[in-house]
Amino acid sequence: MPKPGFMVSEVYRNLFRKRATILYPFKERELVHLPEGFRGRIVFHRDKCIGCRICFMVCPARAIEMVKDEKGLRPVFHIYRCIYCGQCAENCPRKAIEMSDIFENIAFDKKTLVVK
């Protein structure tokens, strides 16, 4: 158990230290520090996609659905299922998937958490 003298000095030291917490999400959004390599919400470059289905096959969370459109099969990303592993982006041969730094994936309706 720490000695009382040590505890008092710790209290004094912390009284005058700069605050470690930030008032996110109400203020200080710019102080949110994202580490290098952070994986956030998927950005899909549809024009680069060739419909190869690799992203669909490597996704461990089954967050990707292949849907037919006028160009053939294209992925639809169900963000509410995504675990941000980055496998789809890493394996896409056309670099059509990007892991962005968008981390605010909040919605009242999960159907809006979809990237096409």
C-beta closer to ligand SF4: residue 83 or 103:
83
Segment contacting ligand SF4 (CB under 6 A): 2-10, 17-25, 90-98, 106-114?
A: 90-98
- DSSP code of residue 72: E
CA atoms within 13 A on the CB side of 101: 8
Interacting positions 28-67 with ligand SF4 (CB under 6 A): 49-55, 58-59, 61, 63-64
Q: Which residues of 53-73 are buried (b: 16+ CB within 10 A; e: fewer)?
A: ebbbeebeeebbeeeeeeeee
C-beta closer to ligand SF4: residue 43 or 84:
84
Q: Is 92 exposed, middle or buried (0-12, 13-18, 19+ CB in 10 A)?
A: buried
Distance of CA 50 to the CA centre of its chain: 24
C-beta closer to ligand SF4: residue 21 or 112:
112
- Asked if 82 is part of the footprint of ligand SF4 (rule: CB under 6 A), the reply reads yes
By C-alpha distance, which of 89, 94, 76, 78 is closest to 37? 89
Q: At closest approach, how far in Å is the CB of 32 from ligand SF4?
A: 21
Give the count of residues interacting with ligand SF4 (CB under 6 A).
Answer: 26
Contacts with ligand SF4 by CB under 6 A lie at 49-55, 58-59, 61, 63-64, 75, 77, 82-88, 92-94, 96-97
